[in-house]
Amino acid sequence: MKKIGITGQNGFLGSHLYNTLGLKPDQYERIYFERDFFENPEKLDEFVKQCDVIVHLAAMNRHPDPEIIYNNNMELVKKIIDSLERTKSTPHILFSSSSQEEKDNLYGKSKKEGRSLLADWAEKSGGKFTGMIIPNVFGPFGKPNYNSFIATFCHKLTHGEMPVIDNDGEVSLIYVGELVEEIINQIEIAETKELYEVPHTSVNKVSEVLAKLENYKKLYFDNGEIPELNSKFDLNLFNTFRCYFDIKDHYPVKFTQHTDPRGAFVEVIRLGIGGQCSFSTTVPGITRGNHFHTRKIERFAVIKGEALIQLRKIDTNEVLDFYLGGNEPAYVDMPIWYTHNIKNVGTEDLYTIFWINEPFNAEDSDTYFVEV
């Protein structure tokens, strides 16, 4: 079992890496890190001594004063090296850099010089070092106006604003989940690579990305329709988009009922992709679920009885409660990385229709059991 520490573990990439490592507790032990450790040499030393692997992600990439960015990022690298030398530790260090290294700005300079310092430390100490040049990263929970243009577009489209394209060029992209897989692969390979360019997984024009997101807003955000998703990039972009609207305000979404003397008709889901549709009956007092997915799209539709659907993002404590009843049929969609359940809180059997975008595969279920 490898003991892995992540500086910047609460950031965009860091939190995804930290949570993904947590899915394999028999392979990886996560060594907890806080930003304050950089200001406390004793705590930093204790952290460093425990780690077989340190993934250094903590950095500043935006500030009105570029000098502050440069000084901050260099100081963090030097503090890590000082701690490694004080404790005589030689873990495998993985360092995140970017293509900005080759551009004439102080952020890129801080990354290039920081990578060089860590490579020198590894050569002198006998430690392992991987200097990763990372393409543009996008994915769920990124900060708008900070982590990527996609985060900014998603936030604006789901909050009544109109995105603006400053430069409609082609952008090399990697989904955060794919980047996490790449980092874990480099941890397993455990070889020194002073310069390793992480391959991008797609190239897209900014305007093409925006057009897809505008389509998702029209079909899904406004009308509840699952759009056609023709590629892995489309699925990743759609799952990213779904994480930017206010879940508490959006759900539950009531169905449109068409009634006549025979009864009522309700369209449960309209979609451009297939998947698996099923239904369940649940007796009073029983709870189903308490699991989460990292890629699947799932809809719970209550058509009879009284239900409580609960969601919780796995690295938070906030539980979101949604009460649905068959008198006004409604649905809730499950965002990725949110553990969820459904409980019959009524006095009669609960009837629920479930739809998920891929049939169940026991060998790759993408289902992780965690209590809400």
Q: pLDDT, tens digit, for every residue of 319-360?
A: 999 999 999 999 999 999 999 999 999 999 999 999 999 888
Q: What ranges in the chain are assigned the alpha helix state H?
A: 12-21, 41-50, 66-87, 106-125, 149-157, 176-189, 206-216, 232-241, 247-250
Which of 134, 158, 182 terminates a domain? The answer is 134
Residue 52 DSSP code: S
Helix 232-241 with 206-216: angle, nearest 10 deg: 60
pTM, rounded to two decimals: 0.91
**pLDDT mean across residues, the chain:** 94
Query: What CATH number is given to the structural domain containing 296?
Result: 2.60.120.10
Confidence bin at 20 (pLDDT 50/70/90): very high
Cα torsion angle, 241, 242, 247, 250, sign: positive
Which of 134, 151, 182 terminates a domain? The answer is 134
Q: Would 50 be classed as within a structural domain? A: yes
Confidence bin at 291 (pLDDT 50/70/90): very high
Q: Which residues, listed in sequence order, are joined to residue 131 by a DSSP beta bridge?
A: 95
Confidence bin at 217 (pLDDT 50/70/90): very high
Helix 232-241 with 149-157: angle, nearest 10 deg: 50
Q: Would 171 be classed as within a structural domain? A: no
Q: Would 194 be classed as within a structural domain? A: no
CA distance 187 to 206: 32
Q: What is the pLDDT of residue 64?
A: 85
Q: What is the pLDDT of residue 266?
A: 82
Cα torsion angle, 46, 115, 137, 199, sign: negative
Q: Which residues, listed in sequence order, are joined to residue 354 by a DSSP beta bridge?
A: 278, 300
Q: Would 71 be classed as within a structural domain? A: yes
CA distance 108 to 101: 4
* Tally of structural domains, the chain: 2
**Res. 313: pLDDT tops 90:** yes
CA count, 13 A, side-chain hemisphere, 139:
22
Q: Stretch 11-27: mean pLDDT, rounded?
A: 96
Q: Stretch 29-53: mean pLDDT, rounded?
A: 96
Query: What CATH number is given to the structural domain containing 102?
Result: 3.40.50.720
Q: Would 221 be classed as within a structural domain? A: no
* Domain boundaries, position 62: 2-134
Which of 88, 103, 134 terminates a domain? The answer is 134
**Res. 265: pLDDT tops 80:** no
Q: Which residue has the tokens 């992209």?
A: 173
- The answer to whether 44 and 83 have CB atoms below 8 angstroms apart is yes
Share above pLDDT 70 across residues of the chain, in percent, rounded to a whole number:
100
**Res. 275: pLDDT tops 90:** no
**Res. 239: pLDDT tops 80:** yes
Q: Would 192 be classed as within a structural domain? A: no
Helix, strand, coil % (nearest 5) of the chain? 35, 30, 35
Confidence bin at 99 (pLDDT 50/70/90): confident
